[in-house]
């Protein structure tokens, strides 16, 4: 097959999906909405600026430098709002460039990996030149409908246009297939539900073999972090892998920490990708929790997986989500998940069975859930068993991508 992906070429989620097709010796092209140099063996890579992506050329998780407050949590919503109101205006020009790439590569299938702005770009290109346009598959990522679509008149217009132009849909939760129909998708057309990154690589993300332990000796934070990353400790550890996003209530997370420490003072908290975040550093200082929290740069997949295995609990206090890949990765590694109580998350977590769900704006509820999990070895052990079954049945990479390949072929023959 000749496949043209329209995606953020910096995104680990997109690249994890795309790498399957390069390994299967398909002819794979990438039209990236951000400047990127993927290491995958792609036949061609083009950069198409859309929604001011040229103004943010580096990966949001690539820098370990101290970040200015302008890049912190305080302005995420402002920056997102500018893109919501003005970003769609950039699509017609970008669509002309995309149609030129399509004419030169002649793909059998186009896969746009999320609605804003990759799917919107593809739909605009299709509307400009509908003759002989290849089958168009659109992926829906967690916040496309609940956060982005209703955010401005233009976002509503272009979301509807995208869903009407789609020949098929891929979503990471069943909720979004249902919501797609409300935004104009013809439910008679094909759709599939698979993890957004393709699923879990069980050679990297797997549960710990060591038995769960109770309270251990308190270590200085720096040494504790080194031991965690080396895989030498199972001390009480809570991981927040979500980084800074406009829809993740990190304020709730940090405010919950003193409440946890009041009962379990040995507990440590680790936050990958938050190194250099001024807002996080301010919360830590104001709450006087410096000895209990560490902010790290982005971790390599193997380091992140090992940190998940060493942690007892993963927290994800989000207000919008589909299926977070970090949530699945943590569950696969034996982390007990505590997440915002969202319809999409309930497709994976049954409260009191394999995790707990909370109001993401309530720090007391989050602290109580963390303490409940830390104090209940039986619940955590039960969750490890249940989550291992869930990942094997619904989120294993090779199985999921085999389904995706069959889906692609059916679309081409449709």
The tens digit of pLDDT for each residue in 264-279 reads: 999 999 999 999 999 9
Residues 297-323 have a mean pLDDT of 96
Residues 355 and 313: their CA atoms lie apart, in Å, by 9
Domains and CATH numbers, the chain: 2-199+396-413 (3.40.50.2000), 221-394 (3.40.50.2000)
Q: In what order do the strands lie in the sheet with 136-140?
A: 44-47, 27-32, 2-7, 109-113, 136-140, 168-171, 191-193
**Residue 393 pLDDT greater than 80, yes or no:** yes
User: Token digits for 357?
Assistant: 């769900």
Taking alpha carbons only, the member of 82, 160, 165, 155 closest to residue 123 is 165
271: which 2 tokens?
Answer: 């936050």
Q: In this structure, what token pair is assigned to residue 178? A: 């249902």
With cut-offs at 50, 70 and 90, classify the pLDDT of residue 79: confident
Radius of gyration of the chain (CA): 21
- The band of 5, judged by pLDDT with boundaries at 50, 70 and 90, is very high
* pLDDT above 70: residue 73: no
Between the CA of residue 220 and those of 227, 291, 292, 308, what are the distances in Å?
Answer: 11, 7, 9, 20
Tell me what pLDDT residue 71 has. 45
Q: Which residues, listed in sequence order, are joined to residue 136 by a DSSP beta bridge?
A: 110
- Residues 375, 378, 380, CA angle at the centre, nearest 5°? 75
- Backbone torsions φ then ψ of 208, nearest 5 degrees: -75, 150
């Amino acid at each position: 097959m000749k496949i043209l992906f329209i995606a953020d070429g910096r995104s680990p989620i997109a690249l994890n999906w795309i790498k399957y097709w390069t390994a299967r010796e398909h002819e794979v092209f990438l039209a990236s909405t951000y400047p990127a140099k993927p290491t995958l063996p792609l036949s061609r890579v083009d950069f198409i600026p859309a929604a001011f992506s040229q103004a943010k050329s580096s990966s949001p998780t690539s820098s370990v430098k101290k970040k200015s407050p302008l890049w912190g949590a305080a302005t995420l919503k402002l920056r997102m709002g500018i893109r919501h109101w003005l970003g769609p205006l950039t699509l017609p020009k970008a669509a002309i460039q995309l149609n030129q790439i399509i004419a030169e590569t002649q793909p059998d299938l186009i896969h746009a990996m999320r609605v804003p702005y990759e799917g919107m770009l593809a739909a605009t290109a299709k509307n400009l030149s509908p003759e002989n346009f290849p089958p168009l598959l659109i992926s829906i990522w967690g916040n496309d409908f609940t956060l982005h679509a209703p955010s401005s008149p233009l976002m509503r217009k272009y979301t509807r246009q995208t869903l009407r132009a789609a020949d098929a849909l891929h979503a990471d939760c069943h909720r979004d297939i249902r919501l797609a129909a409300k935004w104009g998708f013809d439910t008679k057309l094909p759709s599939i539900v698979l993890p957004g990154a393709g699923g879990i690589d069980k050679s990297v993300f797997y549960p710990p073999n060591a038995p769960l332990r109770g309270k251990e000796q308190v270590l200085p934070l720096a040494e504790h972090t080194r031991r965690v990353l080396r895989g030498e400790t199972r001390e009480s550890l809570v991981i927040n892998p979500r980084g800074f996003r406009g829809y993740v209530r990190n304020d709730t997370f940090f405010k919950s920490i003193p409440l946890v420490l009041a009962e379990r003072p040995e507990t440590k908290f680790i936050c990958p990708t938050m190194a250099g975040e001024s807002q996080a550093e301010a919360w830590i200082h104001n709450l006087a929790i410096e000895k209990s929290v560490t902010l790290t740069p982005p971790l390599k997949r193997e380091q992140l997986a090992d940190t998940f295995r060493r942690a007892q609990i993963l927290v994800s206090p989000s207000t919008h989500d589909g299926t977070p890949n970090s949530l699945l990765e943590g569950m696969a590694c034996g982390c007990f998940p505590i997440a915002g109580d969202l319809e999409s998350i309930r497709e994976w977590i049954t409260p009191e069975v394999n995790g707990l769900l909370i109001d993401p704006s309530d720090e007391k509820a989050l602290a109580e859930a963390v303490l409940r999990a830390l104090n209940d070895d039986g619940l955590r052990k039960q969750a490890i068993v249940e989550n291992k079954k869930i990942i094997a049945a619904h989120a294993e990479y090779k199985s999921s991508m085999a389904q995706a390949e069959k889906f692609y072929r059916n679309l081409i023959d449709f």
